């Protein structure tokens, strides 16, 4: 049992440090050697858990990226209350609360999509699964809002969901080019206006 716990802890350390390196420096430029230096583990420890960097990358996507997107952008959408307010708060609160590091380095899932989304089918599938879960949660919330009359019934829930995800990920990428929040603040103002058009007129 103790050996199993030690093995699991080693795996968690590899995943955690790999995610940090992938986020800050990119997936392709982060070598196994760099990961092992960061973890202070041996290559033997790495290959005990993973056959390749690809296998590790898929686990980072499935564990770290999945959890980040779920906690920040999917879970809040299932809250009780006014669907429009939940939609508005989820996007605006997230953008307003981003740490400086996240502003400077963009969105991890967006970085992965841009870097390796077209690199191999396995990466594409893993990343697409996260986006599809996010899209489904948005569609469900928007359609709930339409039934409850807090969101305009004439809009396409699927079209709005795709637009919101795309615009959100886009500004996260663009913000990396700037050394201040002006572009982000302008986007937040524009997003607020767009969201108001989704609100049902009672």
What does the pLDDT look like over 152-184, one tens digit per residue?
Answer: 999 999 999 999 999 999 999 999 999 999 999
Are 145 and 87 in contact by the 8 Å Cβ rule? The answer is yes
Question: Cα angle at 80 between 74 and 144, to 5 degrees?
Answer: 75
pTM for this prediction: 0.92
Other C-beta atoms closer than 10 Å to the C-beta of 181 total 16
Distances (CA, A) of 16 to 65, 128, 142: 11, 22, 34
What does the pLDDT look like over 127-158, one tens digit per residue?
Answer: 999 999 999 999 999 999 999 999 999 999 99
Report CA 187 to chain centroid distance, whole Å: 18
Contacts of 17 (CB under 8 A, 6+ apart): 35, 38, 39
Task: Supply the DSSP symbol for 28.
Answer: T
């Amino acid at each position: 049992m103790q050996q199993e716990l030690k093995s699991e802890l080693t795996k968690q350390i590899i995943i955690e440090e790999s995610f940090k390196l992938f986020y800050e420096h990119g997936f392709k430029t982060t070598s196994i050697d760099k990961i092992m230096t960061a973890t202070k583990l041996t290559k033997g420890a790495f290959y005990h858990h993973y056959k390749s960097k690809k296998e590790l990358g898929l686990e980072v996507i499935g564990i770290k990226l999945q959890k980040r997107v779920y906690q920040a952008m999917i879970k809040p959408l299932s809250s009780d209350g006014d669907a429009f307010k939940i939609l508005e708060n989820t996007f605006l609160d997230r953008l307003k609360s981003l740490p400086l590091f996240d502003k400077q380095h963009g969105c991890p899932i967006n970085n992965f999509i841009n870097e390796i989304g077209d690199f191999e089918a396995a990466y594409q599938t893993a990343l697409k699964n996260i986006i599809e879960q996010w899209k489904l949660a948005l569609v469900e919330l928007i359609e709930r809002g339409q039934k409850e009359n807090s969101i305009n019934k004439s809009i396409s829930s699927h079209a709005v969901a795709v637009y919101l995800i795309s615009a959100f990920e886009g500004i996260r990428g663009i913000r990396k080019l700037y050394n201040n929040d002006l572009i982000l603040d302008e986007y937040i103002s524009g997003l607020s206006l767009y969201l108001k058009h989704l609100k049902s007129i009672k």
